[in-house]
């Protein structure tokens, strides 16, 4: 149990030894996700009532989630005071030094933005119509982003304990003053920005179709066929997952303590993650691991059996809720391939990788790969292929652990979940039962 001082001030936990052997304090509070969820629900209702156009609706959803969570983190949780934010408000850095650092970092920031523009321009994949809305948003907000950056850099630099970050290093290189060259800092900086550019584009691209599946639902169909209520609920929950994921890539801010502390440095981690997303995805309908050949969705196989439809739909909805919850619990900190604070509460207090676990089970129950209209051979092949897909996610989980193990908080969490998680507890129960039978 935490000591009295830690119970009064959560910020002490990472510095205090009282939690040794216990579940470490999570980097984010459950309350942050709840605030964002309420914002999304209210915004979605307004979109439906006022029939807000798609382009504006996506922005409204992201603002409806992000702004309340950012305000909550700043005004209520005051996460900028957390030691992991790397800011000390007792510092009295000279204005001349702060200005010099700010100018250098802003030059590095402009170079970083130019590199992202070059990345999008280089690959044909981003020239498709699917990304039109995304680039419309970038054209609208990038100038505002750039204009506000100097003030943000000045404020954070004034109080940062280590102000010479990746932006500063790039700026010094461009000013031909590389008296301190750190290749790893430079690589980590660009890895983090590539992650944001790649995954944010994908997340924003997916939001409209998911939103449309909700707002265009024919309510009368729910009463005619029970599976439609579950399809609606699943899409509704997926909207939470996608929107929280997208806003996580936007709000990588030190004042929220949601900055990228490190990006995964291992090639295996990048390969495992990228092959799960377009354009590299290997389990799509035209991918080498397409496990849906000759198959049907769950409600087609169970058509006419109302009891089984309701039971199966309920299980799928519960799995989707668990999956979405695994993203919502991150608050403003969700992103792939990065370390932005260790999450130990919510579903992560039960499973080390709840999102991957629920997603894998969801696929098995949604597609039923062991059933196929093309015969037993295809069913066996589909089953093997989905097993390989699940193995990829297991590999992905291991590469993430390898990255996060550099943080002592994650090592403590790993030990705790290995003892108190649902799976270890189930293993102990089963082993004791087998031992009793023997």
What pLDDT is attached to residue 433?
Answer: 79
Mind listing the pLDDT tens digit for each residue in 277-319?
999 999 999 999 999 999 999 999 999 899 999 999 999 999 9
> What integer is the mean pLDDT of 121-131?
92
pLDDT single digits (tens) 23-52: 999 999 999 999 999 999 999 999 999 999
Q: Which residues of 29-66 are buried (b: 16+ CB within 10 A; e: fewer)?
A: beebbbbbbebbeebbeebeeeebeeeebbbbbbebbb
Phi and psi at 338, nearest 5°, equal -135, 160
pLDDT at 5 over 70: no
Compute the 3-state secondary structure of the chain and give helix, strand, coil in percent, each to the nearest 5. Answer: 70, 0, 30
> pLDDT at position 423, please?
94
- What pLDDT score was predicted for residue 8? 38
**pLDDT higher than threshold 90 for residue 12:** no
Contact assessment for residue 190 and residue 118, using Cβ atoms and an 8 Å cutoff: no
SS3 of residue 317 by DSSP: helix
pLDDT for residue 14 is more than 50:
no
pLDDT in tens, 173-221: 999 887 777 889 999 999 999 999 999 999 999 999 999 999 987 777 7
pLDDT at 15: 45
Judged against a pLDDT cut of 60, whether residue 267 lies above it is answered with yes
Query: Which residues, at least 6 apart from 267, have a Cβ–Cβ distance to it below 8 Å?
Result: none
Residues 330-344: pLDDT tens digits? 999 999 999 999 999
Q: Are 403 and 266 in contact (CB under 8 A)?
A: yes
Q: Are 23 and 12 in contact (CB under 8 A)?
A: no
Residue 286 burial (10 A CB sphere; 0-12, 13-18, 19+): exposed
DSSP class of residue 25 equals P
Structure-token match 């690589």, residue found: 187
Instruction: Note the pLDDT of residue 208.
Output: 96
Given pLDDT bands bounded at 50, 70 and 90, which one contains residue 438? low
Average pLDDT, the chain: 92
Residue 223 confidence class, pLDDT cut points 50, 70, 90: confident
pLDDT of residue 437: 66
Give tens-digit pLDDT for 382-434.
Answer: 999 999 999 999 999 999 999 999 999 999 999 999 999 999 999 988 888 77
pLDDT in tens, 69-115: 999 999 999 999 999 999 999 998 999 999 999 999 999 999 999 99
Give the Cβ contact number of residue 161 at 10 Å: 10
What's residue 289's pLDDT? 97
Tokens of 83: 């030691």
For range 139-155, the mean pLDDT: 96
Q: What does the alpha-carbon distance between residue 334 and residue 320 come to, in Å, rounded to a whole number?
A: 17
């Amino acid at each position: 149990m935490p000591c009295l001082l830690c119970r009064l001030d959560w910020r002490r936990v990472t510095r205090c030894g009282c939690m040794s052997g216990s579940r470490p304090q999570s980097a984010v509070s459950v309350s942050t996700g709840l605030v964002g969820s309420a914002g999304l629900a209210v915004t979605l209702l307004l979109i439906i009532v006022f029939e807000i156009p798609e382009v504006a609706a996506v922005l409204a959803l992201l603002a409806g989630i992000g702004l309340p969570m950012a305000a909550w983190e700043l005004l209520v949780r005051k996460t900028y005071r957390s030691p992991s934010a790397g800011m000390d408000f007792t510092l009295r850095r000279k204005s001349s030094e702060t200005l010099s650092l700010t100018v250098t970092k802003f030059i590095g920031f402009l170079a970083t933005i130019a590199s992202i523009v070059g990345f999008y321009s280089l690959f044909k994949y981003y020239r498709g119509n699917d990304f039109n809305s995304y680039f419309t948003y970038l054209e609208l907000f990038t100038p505002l982003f750039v204009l506000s950056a100097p003030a943000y850099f000045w404020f954070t630099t004034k109080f940062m304990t280590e102000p010479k970050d990746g932006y500063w290093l790039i700026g010094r290189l461009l000013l031909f003053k590389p008296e301190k060259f750190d290749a790893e800092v430079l690589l980590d900086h660009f890895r983090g920005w590539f992650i944001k550019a790649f995954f944010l584009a994908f997340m924003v691209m997916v939001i409209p179709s998911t939103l449309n599946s909700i707002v265009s639902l024919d309510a009368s169909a729910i009463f005619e066929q029970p599976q439609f209520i579950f399809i609606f609920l699943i899409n509704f929950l997926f909207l939470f997952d996608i929107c929280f994921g997208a806003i996580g890539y936007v709000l990588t801010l030190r004042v929220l303590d949601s900055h990228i502390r490190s990006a995964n440095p291992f090639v295996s981690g990048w390969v495992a993650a990228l092959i799960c997303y377009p354009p590299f995805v290997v389990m799509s309908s035209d991918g080498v691991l397409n496990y849906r050949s000759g198959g049907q969705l769950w409600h087609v196989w169970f058509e006419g059996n109302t009891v089984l439809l309701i039971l199966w739909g309920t299980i799928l909805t519960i799995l989707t809720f668990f999956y979405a919850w695994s993203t919502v619990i991150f608050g403003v900190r969700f992103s792939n391939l990065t370390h932005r604070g260790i999450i130990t509460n919510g579903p992560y207090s039960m499973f080390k990788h709840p999102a991957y676990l629920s997603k894998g089970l969801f696929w098995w129950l949604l597609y039923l790969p062991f059933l196929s209209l093309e015969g037993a051979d295809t069913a066996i092949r589909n089953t093997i292929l989905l097993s390989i897909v699940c193995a990829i996610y297991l590999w992905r989980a291991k590469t993430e652990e390898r990255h996060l193990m550099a943080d002592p908080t994650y090592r403590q969490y790993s030990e705790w979940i290995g003892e108190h998680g649902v799976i270890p507890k189930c293993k102990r129960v089963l082993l004791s039962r087998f031992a009793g039978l023997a």
